[in-house]
Amino acid sequence: MRRGGRVTEAIALLAILALSTVLSLVLFSPTAGGLQPRDVDQSAALRPADILIVEPDAGLGPLDAFMGSARRSVDLSMYELADTRAESILAADAARGVRVRVILDQRLERAHNQAAFTYLSAHGVAVRWAPDADNTFHIKSVCVDEARCAVMTLNLTARYYATTRDFAVLDSDRADVAAIEETFAADFGGRPGVPGSGADLVWSPGSTAALAHLIGTASHMALVYNEELSDPTTVEALAAAAHRGVHVEVVMTYQSSWVRNFDALASAGAQVRVLYGEHPVYIHAKMIWVDGKRVFLGSENLSVASLTRNRELGLISIDPAILHATEQTFEHDAAGARIWQVRRGP
C-alpha cells in the first residue's frame, strides 16, 4: 500500500510535536528566530492575539503541531493536499477519537488530491469533495476544537514548502472562528451559502470591493505580494494609489501573463520587483499591507476568478507584531528582487 502503517509513525511524531511552541505567542520571521510584539494599541488589544507563521522560514512544524493538538475536532478546507506527514497527523487525530473532517478541491486539483482523499477515507477521516464542481475551492484553512483557525496562503503540498514564500495566521477571534466553522459546515454538507463576515474576514466569491477599498485607504505606503496580477479593479486601485503619491511596491515571481500589468503599475509610479523561478523563493503569498495599520493575508489571488468565483478566505489584521513581521519579510524579499523597467523588461 502507498502509505500503510503510517498511523503508528504519526502517533510517535505527535509526541515530538507536542513540544512545539506553536500555541504560545511567537512570530516567526526570515531575519530572526522570533519577534517581540511591539506595543499594542487599544483597538488591537480588544481581540485575542493572533500568531503569524512565515514560510519557508518556520518550517511546517508549527502547523503540524497545531493540527496534532486537537482534542475534539479538526476541520480542514484545502485546495491541494499532498503531504503525507500532514495526512498521517489527521489520521492519528481520528484514531484517538477526534472528529476530523476535510474538504478538497475537485475542479482543478481532483487528480492531485485523490491519493490524500483515498488515504484519509481509509483511516477514519470524513472527506468530501468541494460542493461546487464548476468553481475552484481555493481556500486554505484549518480549525481546531472550534477555538482557533489557521487562515493560510499556503497549500499543504510538501514539494513546495522549502522554496515558497507563504503565511499562516492562527486566529482565535470568536466571531472569526464561528464564521469559518459555519461556512465549513455548509460546504461540507453540500449547501454552500453566504459566509459570515466574522470580525475581519475577507471571503470570496465577492472580495473585489473589500480589497480595492483596503488599497484605497492607503495614504503613505502599500506593499503587495501576490501570485497573480490580472484583476483590473485591484490593479487600477494600486495605480490610483501610486498616482496620488502613495509608495506602492509589488513583489512577485515573474510570469509573462503579468507583464502588461507590471508595465501599467510601473508607468503609474509604483515600484514593481520581480523574482524568477524558486530562487531564492517563489512568491505564493497573498498580502496587501497598508500604512503599517492593516494587512490582508489569505488565499485570494489578484485575478477575476479568485475574487469573484472561487471559494477563498483571508483576513485583515491590525496586530502590530504581525504588521511588523510581514513588513520585514517583504523588505527581505524585495531586496533580492529585480526592479521592473517599463517596456524593456527586467
Contacts of 73 (CB under 8 A, 6+ apart): 98, 99, 100, 101, 143, 144, 145, 146
Q: What is the pLDDT of residue 3?
A: 37
Domains of the chain: 6-198 (3.30.870.10), 204-339 (3.30.870.10)
Q: What is the pLDDT of residue 295?
A: 98
Q: What is the pLDDT of residue 24?
A: 36
Q: What is the pLDDT of residue 44?
A: 40
Distance CA 324, CA 319 (A): 9
Distance CA 22, CA 177 (A): 18
- In this structure, are residues 257 and 285 in contact, taking their beta carbons and an 8 Å threshold? no
pLDDT tens, N- to C-terminus, the chain (346 residues): 333 344 444 444 444 344 343 333 334 444 433 333 323 333 444 456 799 999 999 999 999 999 999 999 999 999 999 999 999 999 999 999 999 999 999 999 999 999 999 999 999 999 999 999 899 999 999 999 999 999 999 999 999 999 999 999 999 999 999 999 999 999 999 988 889 889 999 999 999 999 999 999 999 999 999 999 999 999 999 999 999 999 999 999 999 999 999 999 999 999 999 999 998 999 999 999 999 999 999 999 999 999 999 999 999 999 999 999 999 999 999 999 999 999 754 5
Contacts 24+ apart (CB under 8 A), 30-34: 30/54, 30/57, 30/328, 30/329, 30/332, 31/328, 31/332
Q: What is the pTM of this model?
A: 0.88
C-alpha cell at 341: 523597467
C-alpha cell at 173: 477571534
Q: What is the pLDDT of residue 344?
A: 58
For 49-96, what is each residue's pLDDT tens digit?
A: 799 999 999 999 999 999 999 999 999 999 999 999 999 999 999 999
